[in-house]
Amino acid sequence: MSVVAKRVLVTGGAGFLGSHLCERLVAQGDDVLCVDNYFTGRKDNVAGLLGTPHFEALRHDITHPLFVEVDEIYNLACPASPIHYQFDPVQTTKTSVIGAINMLGLAKRLKAKILQASTSEVYGDPGVHPQPESYRGNVNPIGPRGCYDEGKRCAETLFFDYFRQHQMRIRVARIFNTYGPRMHPNDGRVVSNFIVQALQGAPITLYGDGSQTRAFCFVDDLIDGFVRLMAAPDHLTGPINLGNPQETSVAELAELVIALTGSRSVITRRPLPVDDPVQRCPDITLATKLLGWRPTTPLKDGLTRTIAYFDQLLSQRREDAEAGAPIAV
């Protein structure tokens, strides 16, 4: 008997996390529709999937209605790095809020399961440490990070209102800093910045004194958490933290990247951005208990794989430049 493949929509599917998720879903036999407006995503990220029978890509902005037929939706569309989400903050809020309404409307019509890629930014500059899901956060609604933080908070509100009002099958994952191959080389996030700077022998830009902390999760671990959450019983709506609970200061990260690349880059100080959270680390008790999930990739291993990716990307770009070929941004 032939089994009909599950049809899965991934919004933001050509982005960093989205492209890894599309790959994982295709590999497990799903029929994947990637929807992206290519604001921060790249066709290169899904080039390996194009032409395979169970993958399809559609250029579309989720702030506009979308009429397709699917069984599950992962809603990842939204720029994630501070420089990208602050580039057009009004569009960022629209993507989170109007985009969520459209994707929830789509899921409602189809009776589809829908998972929201929320963020640790809903906790703002946290006053509780590590952050459990019950912590309600400390967000500045009118600061430069507000468009992202409040947009994501409102999207969570919408998910839970559709859940209560329309008995929908929702999942909300609060993702903490995730890194890995296919991060955008110019997106300004700390891991990609430090690696690209180290590989180019450029100064490593440490914002503030580098004592602020983050907890870095390797992309493969995160995707595993996504898939488990989607497959979990319907009463497990979340919100649920997904991240690596190993806390690292940004200064330690800089030293580690320099050591792993063998770079001669020096560290240079830059002002700390406004509202930059001082300390961030997930409490993943719930994910471990309810999903049997915890990250398994040590920071050093994940960084080594990410460095190899950027090394190859930068070499390719040098070769293309020498050959006079156009360079993708």
Binding positions for ligand UDP, rule: CB under 6 A: 65-67, 81-82, 101-102, 105-106, 108-109, 177, 189-190, 193, 205-207, 212, 214, 250, 272-273, 276
User: Which is the catalytic residue, given 85, 148, 162, 179?
Assistant: 148
> Exactly one of 23, 30, 36, 156 binds ligand NAD (CB under 6 A); which one?
36
> Exactly one of 9, 16, 123, 193 binds ligand NAD (CB under 6 A); which one?
16
- Does the CA dihedral 258-259-261-266 come out positive or negative? positive
Interhelix angle 250-261/190-200, nearest 10 degrees: 40
| 3-state percent helix, strand, coil for the chain, nearest multiple of 5 | 40, 20, 40
73 binds, among ligand NAD, ligand UDP, none (CB under 5 to 8 A by kind): none
Considering only residues 184 to 243 of the shown chain, the ones binding ligand NAD according to CB under 6 A are 184
Q: Which residues pair with 73 in a beta bridge?
A: 9, 114
- Which one, 30 or 61, has the nearer CB to ligand NAD? 61
Query: Residue 306 carries which DSSP code?
Result: H
Does the annotation mark 309 as catalytic? no
Nearest distance, CB of residue 63 and ligand UDP, angstroms: 10
Residue type, 78: C
> Exactly one of 95, 131, 265, 297 binds ligand NAD (CB under 6 A); which one?
95
Kindly state the tokens that stand for 93.
Answer: 């809020």
Q: Is 63 in the site for ligand NAD (CB under 6 A)?
A: yes
Dist CA 245 CA 283 (whole Å): 7
Kindly state the tokens that stand for 138.
Answer: 């400390």
> Exactly one of 61, 125, 133, 221 binds ligand NAD (CB under 6 A); which one?
61
> Exactly one of 26, 62, 168, 204 binds ligand NAD (CB under 6 A); which one?
62
Nearest distance, CB of residue 270 and ligand NAD, angstroms: 21
- Does the CA dihedral 309-310-315-318 come out positive or negative? positive
- Does the CA dihedral 103-108-114-118 come out positive or negative? positive
226 binds, among ligand NAD, ligand UDP, none (CB under 5 to 8 A by kind): none
Whether residue 42 contacts residue 14, with contact meaning beta carbons closer than 8 Å, is answered with: yes
Nearest distance, CB of residue 203 and ligand UDP, angstroms: 10
Q: Is 38 in the site for ligand NAD (CB under 6 A)?
A: yes
Considering only residues 250 to 289 of the shown chain, the ones binding ligand NAD according to CB under 6 A are none
Whether residue 173 contacts residue 152, with contact meaning beta carbons closer than 8 Å, is answered with: no
Pairing of strands 267-270, 204-207: parallel
- Which one, 41 or 181, has the nearer CB to ligand NAD? 41
> Exactly one of 18, 238, 282, 302 binds ligand NAD (CB under 6 A); which one?
18
Measuring CA to CA, how many Å separate 284 from each of 203, 241, 279?
35, 6, 16
283 binds, among ligand UDP, ligand NAD, none (CB under 5 to 8 A by kind): none
Q: Which residues pair with 14 in a beta bridge?
A: none
Q: Is 162 in the site for ligand NAD (CB under 6 A)?
A: no
Residue type, 28: Q
Which residue stretches of the chain are H helix? 16-27, 43-46, 82-85, 89-110, 146-166, 190-200, 219-231, 250-261, 285-291, 299-322
Which residue's beta carbon is nearest to the bound ligand UDP? 105
> Exactly one of 8, 23, 79, 218 binds ligand NAD (CB under 6 A); which one?
79
214 binds, among ligand UDP, ligand NAD, none (CB under 5 to 8 A by kind): ligand UDP
Residue type, 146: G
Contact residues for ligand NAD, defined by CB under 6 A: 11-12, 14-18, 36-41, 61-63, 76-80, 95, 99, 117, 119, 175, 177-178, 184
Active-site residue set: 148
